[in-house]
Amino acid sequence: MGEWVRLCGVAEAPGTNEVMEAEAPRSEGMPVPICLANVEGKLSAIGNICPHRLGPLGGGWIEGGKVLCPWHAWAFDVETGEADAPETGRVRVYPLKVEGGNVLVEIEVAAQE
C-alpha cells in the first residue's frame, strides 16, 4: 500500500534534461531519497542511490535519455530503473504525478500491526 506525498513544487523541479536530489517525506520513518529527473520534458522519480558505489544519482546528469551517476557514469533507465549493459543493477522507479502545481510521488507505507 502506498501514499502520495509532495516531493516539490513544479517550479522547483529540474529543467529539461536535468536532475536533482530530493527527499520524499514519510508519515513514519526516514524520508525516501529520490532522484527527480526531467528527460526530454517528462518528469520521473527513481531511487537516488546508485547500487555500484552508492553515488547520488540526483547529482548526476542526463545523457541519451538516461540518468548517469556522477561518480562512475553508470546509466539508468528512468522507466525501468535498470542499468545499461554491461553493468548489472537496478534502482527503484516511483510512480509520479503532477497535481495542483506539485510534484507527487507514491511511496510505501510501513505495515501497521
When the pLDDT of each residue in the chain is averaged and rounded to a whole number, the result is: 94
pLDDT tens-digit series, residues 41-94: 999 999 999 999 999 999 999 999 999 999 999 999 999 999 998 889 999 999
Domain boundaries, the chain: 2-108
pTM assigned to the model: 0.93
Contacts (Cβ under 8 Å, ≥6 apart) of 21: 33, 34, 35, 36, 48, 56, 57, 58, 59
What whole-number distance in Å separates Cα of residue 70 and Cα of residue 107? 25
Q: Which CATH class is domain 2-108?
A: mainly beta
- How many Cβ atoms sit within 10 Å of the Cβ of residue 111? 6
pLDDT tens-digit series, residues 1-40: 689 999 999 999 999 999 999 999 988 889 999 999 999 9
**DSSP label of 82:** B
